[in-house]
Amino acid sequence: MAYERPPLVLRPFHAWFHFWDQIIPSLYRVVAVAAGALITAVLVVLATGAHWLLSLLLSLVGWIVLAIVQEHDERVVLDFDGEFLSLLRRHADPVLNRAGYVFKNASGPTRAGRDPSDTILYEIDNVPGPIGCIDLWIRRERTAGGRIEVRTDDGPLERLLDSLGESQLAQRVTHTEDAEGDVAALVAAFQLIFPPGS
């Protein structure tokens, strides 16, 4: 399943907002709009000789519109990869259920987000203590050659596999090939990490 990206013309603007989000997360949208408007106004004045105040006001309005579009795209949650989830539920659920993990939810990425991963959560509920549950997170990019990240409360899946001497499988479960192959690798890993009776 392809990852639906924002229109090509908007991607540089999304990158601009993401850049400022990394530098000043609490005020990034305001700073991105102000800096973008100032740079745009200077370029317009230099290119056309327009009045600087008019250029600044028009640039500011334009960047405010871009900020609204960018925020909207960050809130648009895409569907998750149904083929991958269906295969995972069919083949991995029996192994994970045996270890006490129960499927909780799956969500797709946001259209303008930096992370193009689907996220799937399994949990062991009613664990004694203040936390109350143990999580198993699967994050998987949709494209071949993308990244898979599986994390339990004991750490990343590849580290757990390396500790069992399964370095080849540890490498395989960190990148995508296709839904069927990715699920087969994850199931093989889960069978080693959560053997019967564990």
Is the pLDDT at 1 greater than 50? The verdict is no
- pLDDT range class, residue 158, cuts 50, 70, 90: very high
Model confidence, pTM: 0.70
Q: What is the CA radius of gyration of the chain?
A: 22
Residue bearing the bigger pLDDT, 198 or 57: 57
Residue in the block written with tokens 């809130």: 75
Domain boundaries, the chain: 8-75, 82-193
Looking at residue 198, its pLDDT comes to 61
Phi, psi of 182 (to 5 degrees): -65, -45
Report the C-alpha gap between 173 and 166 in whole angstroms.
11
Looking at residue 181, its pLDDT comes to 95
If you ran DSSP here, which 8-state letter would residue 110 be given?
B
Report the C-alpha gap between 51 and 53 in whole angstroms.
6
Residue bearing the bigger pLDDT, 107 or 11: 107
Q: What pLDDT, in 10s, does the model give residues 13-54? A: 888 988 998 898 889 999 999 999 999 999 999 999 889 999
Report the C-alpha gap between 39 and 35 in whole angstroms.
6
Q: What pLDDT, in 10s, does the model give residues 64-98? A: 999 998 888 878 778 888 999 999 999 999 999 99
